[in-house]
Amino acid sequence: MTSGARYTGTSTSLIEGWGLERLTPPSRLFGANGLRSGPDGRIYVAQVAGSQISAFDPVTGALETISPKGSDIVAPDDVAFDSRGDMYITEYYDGRVSIRGADGSTRLLRDDLPGANGITIHQDRLFVNECRVGGRLMELNPAGGAPKVLLDELPMPNGMEVGPDGKLYYPLLGTNDIWRIDPDGGEPERVAGDLGVPDAVKFDSDGFIVSTQVASGQVLRINPRNGDRTVLAQLNPGLDNLTFLGDRLFVSSFTGKVTEILAGGETREALSDGLTWPLDLTVGPDGTVYIADGTFLLALEPGGGTRTLGMLFSPGWPGYIRGVTAVGNGEFIVTGDGIVSRYNPAAAESEVLADGLEALYGVAVSHSGTVVAADLGAGKVYAVASGEARVVADGLAEPIGVAFASNGTALVSEAGAGRILSITASGVDTLIDGLERPEGIVVHDGTLFIVDVDAKTLIGVDLETKAQQVIARNLPVGAPEGVTPKPLLGLPPFSGPQGPFAGIAAGPDGTLYVSADAEGSVLAIRKVR
């Protein structure tokens, strides 16, 4: 299927008196991770968050979805091709390596490689590593059999390649350097160190290493003989991988941007960036909208576009962010991988408020300062105070969104049961039922607004009369029609299971901001005067 964006669906319709505005354009990809030039002259882009692989034609700009969400491939991180044109794929979160034949068939090669990430093929020899603390670098036999372990106990190896000298070159995120080893045996050698956290290496036509630096955003050209380096381009942090198409160099970013590196440090945007999800939303006291996008916390600029407040690898980063609420003074309460934190991106500081929980999603703070967080993994809702997380609701079916009514009552969307619950000192009661999959919820001016993901609707409920009204239909949220996404299990330092979460927030003027996670945009839905 060919598409200019990652999601196509029926246009959103609203009831009379309401209007819709897209504050960010739909994303074309679910982020961009591994890149590899294919035998057909296109660039293949692996997208972990979307469980998707796309082929990009840099001449026409066309994108074709090769392996869509819901297929047998889950969380693809990197790809490589053999001489027959078969594509080998690492599936990072599931610890798998799969093969997609040139005829479109798929078969599983291995499912016991936790953190399977970097992959390369040289003279039809297949090499894979595990991007985790204590990871292995291995040669796999495509016909089956036990892996041949070349190295183990590596600190997070990543995208690798065989050089002109026949050595296998691999970066180590954990030690900030690049190494090589003879794949037929021998001791590893350090090639270059003190970099900008290298996460991928390839070779140019002159035999020099070219490496992306995830933390610094630099694209480096490194002499493999003496480690001397030059900066080919300075981009934003969050670079992931690279590929050559002839002598043309392309690099990928977490945001989904693919950039061509030109001579003299110049660059050209080949694919524009966008949001990977988005997940939760919040509105600051001044009306600024903030977006939790997993490995990024972003602010919406008044004139359009986003500004990065913090990201993975930035100082003080609290970890993968699913839930977020602004509490003033540039601070946020955020949830992620079992942790509730107070995060101040400007000061590059975060403080853990509660730890040891499971898959936390929505978070809300009452007028009195009470923090409530939903734990989808444990089926619980917690009140967080004084470094402790006290259970206020238990035995729930996928609690995900939380909000406070004006009287201080905590509300939670129980996505797996299709209902909204109220939580008080006397217990838990059903407030609204009969929904399909409610996720994000927010209360404004006595009305509870609900994003029902499976119904793809925005619903308003008068909390006094309980009267309901469907405000919007065919929202670009959740999975495409007929698709059942497979869970993204996650692996440190990434939280798991990952997303999705169609969040919602309300501005002071009553504007509703909705995470259109299917298409990767933020929607503003407001009454039309």
pTM score: 0.92
Determine the pLDDT at residue 260: 98
For residue 382, is pLDDT > 50? yes
Of the candidates 524, 29, 514, the one whose C-alpha atom is nearest the C-alpha of residue 275 is: 29
Q: Which domain holds residue 56?
A: 28-271
Whether residues 343 and 430 fall in one domain: yes
Q: Which one of 271, 291, 322 terminates a domain?
A: 271
Contacts of residue 221, defined as CB under 8 A and 6 or more positions apart, other chains included, come to 204, 208, 209, 210, 229, 230, 231, 232
Radius of gyration of the chain (CA): 23
Q: To 10 degrees, the CA torsion angle through 96, 101, 107, 113?
A: -20
Whether residues 296 and 191 fall in one domain: no
Residue 8 lies in a domain: no
Q: What percent of the chain has pLDDT over 90?
A: 88
Confidence of residue 2 (pLDDT cuts 50, 70, 90): very low
Cβ–Cβ < 8 Å for 443, 403? yes
Question: Domain tally for the chain?
Answer: 2
Residue 486 lies in a domain: no
Determine the pLDDT at residue 185: 86
Whether residues 229 and 315 fall in one domain: no
Confidence of residue 468 (pLDDT cuts 50, 70, 90): very high
Residue 357 lies in a domain: yes
Residue 368 lies in a domain: yes
Quote the mean pLDDT of the chain.
94
For residue 395, is pLDDT > 70? yes
Mean pLDDT of 117-136: 97
- Structure confidence by residue, pLDDT tens digits, 134-180: 999 999 999 989 999 999 999 999 999 999 999 999 999 999 999 99
For residue 492, is pLDDT > 80? no
Tokens of 111: 């499912």
Whether residues 396 and 248 fall in one domain: no
Q: Which one of 205, 236, 271 terminates a domain?
A: 271
Query: Would you call the peptide bond into 500 cis, given omega within 30 degrees of 0 as the criterion?
Result: yes
Mean pLDDT of 9-38: 94
Q: Which one of 229, 252, 271 terminates a domain?
A: 271
- Structure confidence by residue, pLDDT tens digits, 404-432: 999 999 999 999 999 999 999 889 999 99
Query: Would you call the peptide bond into 155 cis, given omega within 30 degrees of 0 as the criterion?
Result: no
For residue 3, is pLDDT > 70? no
Tokens of 436: 């399909």
Q: Is 458 left (phi over 0), alpha (psi -120 to 50) or beta?
A: beta
For residue 1, is pLDDT > 50? no
Residue 429 lies in a domain: yes
Residue 96 lies in a domain: yes
Residue 4 lies in a domain: no
For residue 448, is pLDDT > 80? yes
